[in-house]
């Protein structure tokens, strides 16, 4: 999985039927020191993240295996909220 920060959302009414009823979040890849990378995904949220919060995204066929994303034609889903990061001698409380 990759660590991402929620930075916004996308509105789409014209879309594949399988995408109805889920929120499309705009997420940005972040580094371990929480600085931002110039890489973005639009992902389905399965854990209820708010803007500015950190999560983990699964991409590829895995993204459509969760209870919420099953049978949806997506390739990126947020599968966990990041609450704390422990790096060797540094602890980040997110």
Least distance between a copy of itself and beta carbon 1 (Å): 4
Query: What are the DSSP E strand ranges found in 46-93?
Result: 54-59, 76-81, 84-87, 90-93
Q: Check binding of 58 to a copy of itself (CB under 8 A).
A: yes
Round to whole Å and give the CA distance between 38 and 16: 27
To a copy of itself, the closest distance from the beta carbon of 25 in angstroms equals 10
CA distance 18 to 79: 19
Residues found near a copy of itself in the complex (CB under 8 A): 1-3, 7-19, 24, 26, 28, 31-32, 38, 40-43, 46-48, 51-52, 56, 58-67, 73-77, 79-88
């Amino acid at each position: 999985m990759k660590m991402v920060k929620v930075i916004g959302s996308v509105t789409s009414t014209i879309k594949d039927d399988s995408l109805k009823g889920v929120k499309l979040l705009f997420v940005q890849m972040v580094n371990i020191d929480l600085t931002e990378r110039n890489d973005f995904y639009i992902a389905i949220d399965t854990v209820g993240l708010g803007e500015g919060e950190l999560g983990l995204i699964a991409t590829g066929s895995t993204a459509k295996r969760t209870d919420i994303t099953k049978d949806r034609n997506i390739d990126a889903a947020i599968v966990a909220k990041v609450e704390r990061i422990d790096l060797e001698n540094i602890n980040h409380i997110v």
